[in-house]
Structure 1
């Protein structure tokens, strides 16, 4: 050992000696362990668990893992964190499609790699680095929400918080603000841990002031957010019914029996109508059916038309019917919500009283690059047709009630939900079909997103699912009532019609851009300044990794 150390010292490479000593002490292994445990901890914060605090813990471990690292090791640690996070979080994609679906988790993990490098760079260069690290996380989420194929923002850390004290901040700063505060709590926690460890022998309260304040700020803003939450107590109320008709079986073949799903929703609506006539249920102002409740195009199939029309006439109020509607070309369809009137029948196809899903799901509702992906799996051909995207937000008026319709995974896209609220929606409706994912966590994760949306925009959210979990969510994010998985039923809810706008609706979109661009601009400025200093001979040009002092948390 002495001989090796002496040779290293004689070689004039103090950096090599430093890395040799770090490896000897097992520090590299600890960083890898922190990245893996941190990613899995973040996964544990998502539904169906209520362990909201695991999100800051997981991000704190990521911060400890990459702090002070250079580019390549930080990229590797970011990848390990992403794999440990996304593989278990998205395991519901593999239940019926098979292991090939893990490609989605791997792709998301690859997009997490840069955030590890950005956080590491911020920890070396920027004061109060946890703030910049949280902004870097938002920049990475913004990338995943848009790339590739329109993005897949599932796993946004805002959706880990529906049961936590930070949730009210969504009404103040939007979902992107909630995500920033969650990340800030985590990275500030890692800054606090480093400050305690580095000064454990001579610890003074002033050394901990900055990191403690950074940890506290998100929770203070969570309390402030309570003042901007909508309650709807002084708003007019209307009774709205949500129908869950169930499906014959879970999985990809949920609608293999022709018209079976339609018949089951017709039957449940007729039960509701009978209960209204018997006086055991209040008469609703309108009824919501889920996505794909009609598995046959009712505009072209007379049997499906007659069945639905009979059910709507029986209940006697406008009904939002989710249907697969042909687009006029073989193999092309729209995933559509149709306002069906008990007197005049369905709204004209593609009129302002229908909504076509604007963001069809790649690999689920259309197959991008089919010939390329067939190289890896023949299962790409399970997706035989394609759904065309709609061209306008889902603002519909039913019996005087202004609803904002989003379909299934669209609830995860900030802009799609924000647009219907800005378009005047008093109630948010999520039509969804979760039968494809069986008894997995997907439906609970989607419900968590709807709870965050309720607080963000100050609206009641009604989830109508073919197979569950359908739910009525109050504007404060709490679940008022629900119907379990693969159970037929209906809910009558007294829903506040809220028109007031939360700050989160206004601020959320611009804030994401400010945080993402602000971080990149700040990092670029500091990097250029350091390079100029090195070129002028005034800076440190050793290239050794550095750690900020205690004042920088």
Structure 2
């Protein structure tokens, strides 16, 4: 029943809001390996089952002490509801693997920082862009001096250029100069503003010789953040909706860039919370996952660390290294076993350069997709049905 509720909340309304899934609290938990077996639904099921099982075991033991008579079968079932998920997690440990099946890649994640915290960060859009350009040029200088290894590619965060480089030649020039300086493919997070229609939250693959060569438009844009549903109605309750003066539109294509021979799957910020948005990139061939994000709007809240925990769970779920470049922190590099090998401090300009394993094998969770969730939903529905039938029969018996 817990899985049914989380599944519904992850889909409706407005495309759902799975941010608070119980599975995302297990980045350091004993049940984490289950993510590779059945994804976040199975991981959440194990946590809920164990929690209720611990309570029921305690309740049964307490009743037994008071009455010295308790049915053994219910107590055994309660105990098993704790032991089975723990045993399943231990059995799943071999699926947590950070072997470099396809060699390694050296990746750089740039955190340029922002002029100020909160929702007004983008009022200094050029300053944000210049920060990321400056950090990339510093990286190029460090590589030339031999202080850091040369990356195979560079990842900038979401909104690192809120100035449309297709429409603004000056922005394109400074981006191009930074990419030429480092000399490797670089992914730029930009807001693209066509003359007509909706805005696009776009990731651009920028080649040092050819300029922009590929794009990925964020497929799940955030309601009440990137677009305002039912704007006229919502305005009655809060005039701040008009701060989103032009809605963003959603892309339709799965984002996988070929960066210097490495296939990198792209899930932009909010998309990391959605099972399908990350899985699609892996089934399309991604050997590594990138979650470029703009956490400046989160301020110094725990939401930044919540999102980082999601990326750690995704790493184990799909057995992929995950790189999280963020405008203001916390940027991080995560191995396929969920371990963070490098991270930045919040609201501090920085660059992470790390060698990570590349993998192409698929975990059971990746292969099965929504099947584990569907089976758990069916099990929950059957349990509810059985409970209703049993209750109705008991009432009829008492009435007779």
Same fold per superposition (TM over 0.5): yes
2-structure distance, mates of 1:397, 1:355: 12
1-structure distance, mates of 2:135, 2:20: 34
- What's 1:500 paired with? 361
The CA RMSD measured in Å over matched residues stands at 1.7
Which of residues 245, 254, 277 is equivalent to 2:121? Answer: 254
Kindly state the Cα deviation for residue 426 of structure 1 after the two structures are TM-superposed.
0.3
The CA deviation string for residues 408-457 of structure 1, in whole angstroms up to 9 with x for no partner, is 11000001111111111000000100001111111100000000000000
1:194 correspondence with 2:59:
yes
Q: What is the DSSP-based 3-state SS (H/G/I as helix, E as strand, rest coil) of the residue aligned with 2:264?
A: strand
Seen in structure 2, the aligned counterparts of structure 1 residues 258 and 466 have a Cα distance that, compared at 3 Å, is: closer
The CA deviation string for residues 226-251 of structure 1, in whole angstroms up to 9 with x for no partner, is 11112124540111111101111111
1:451 correspondence with 2:312:
yes
- What's 1:152 paired with? 17
- What's 1:291 paired with? 158
Equivalent residues of 2:114, 2:121 under 8 A apart: yes
Equivalent residues of 1:454, 1:474 under 8 A apart: yes
Give the alignment of 1:266-285 within 5 angstroms: 266-285=133-152
1-structure distance, mates of 2:373, 2:97: 22
1:485 correspondence with 2:346:
yes
- What's 1:219 paired with? 86
Equivalent residues of 1:242, 1:464 under 8 A apart: yes
Kindly state the Cα deviation for residue 507 of structure 1 after the two structures are TM-superposed.
3.2
The CA deviation string for residues 484-518 of structure 1, in whole angstroms up to 9 with x for no partner, is 11110101110111001111212352111221133
Which of residues 427, 431, 443 is equivalent to 2:292? Answer: 431
Q: What is the DSSP-based 3-state SS (H/G/I as helix, E as strand, rest coil) of the residue aligned with 2:122?
A: coil
Equivalent residues of 2:149, 2:353 under 8 A apart: yes
Kindly state the Cα deviation for residue 385 of structure 1 after the two structures are TM-superposed.
1.2
Give the alignment of 1:69-468 within 5 angstroms: 136-201=1-66, 202=68, 206=72, 208-329=75-196, 332-347=198-213, 353-468=214-329
1-structure distance, mates of 2:293, 2:164: 17
1-structure distance, mates of 2:71, 2:96: 35
Q: What is the DSSP-based 3-state SS (H/G/I as helix, E as strand, rest coil) of the residue aligned with 1:182?
A: helix
Seen in structure 2, the aligned counterparts of structure 1 residues 492 and 371 have a Cα distance that, compared at 3 Å, is: same
- What's 1:54 paired with? none
Kindly state the Cα deviation for residue 525 of structure 1 after the two structures are TM-superposed.
4.7
* Greater Cα radius of gyration, structure 1 or 2: 1
Kindly state the Cα deviation for residue 523 of structure 1 after the two structures are TM-superposed.
2.1
Equivalent residues of 1:243, 1:287 under 8 A apart: yes
TM-score norm. by structure 2 comes to 0.96
Kindly state the Cα deviation for residue 534 of structure 1 after the two structures are TM-superposed.
6.4
Which structure is higher in RCO with an 8 Å CA cutoff and minimum separation 6? 2
Equivalent residues of 1:230, 1:459 under 8 A apart: no
Q: What is the DSSP-based 3-state SS (H/G/I as helix, E as strand, rest coil) of the residue aligned with 2:121?
A: coil
Equivalent residues of 1:196, 1:203 under 8 A apart: no
Q: What is the DSSP-based 3-state SS (H/G/I as helix, E as strand, rest coil) of the residue aligned with 1:444?
A: helix
How many aligned positions are there? Answer: 398
TM-score norm. by structure 1 comes to 0.70
Equivalent residues of 1:229, 1:502 under 8 A apart: no
2-structure distance, mates of 1:439, 1:137: 31
Q: What is the DSSP-based 3-state SS (H/G/I as helix, E as strand, rest coil) of the residue aligned with 1:524?
A: helix
- What's 1:517 paired with? 378
Q: 5+ residue gaps in structure 1? A: 1-135, 348-352, 543-553
Equivalent residues of 2:60, 2:70 under 8 A apart: no
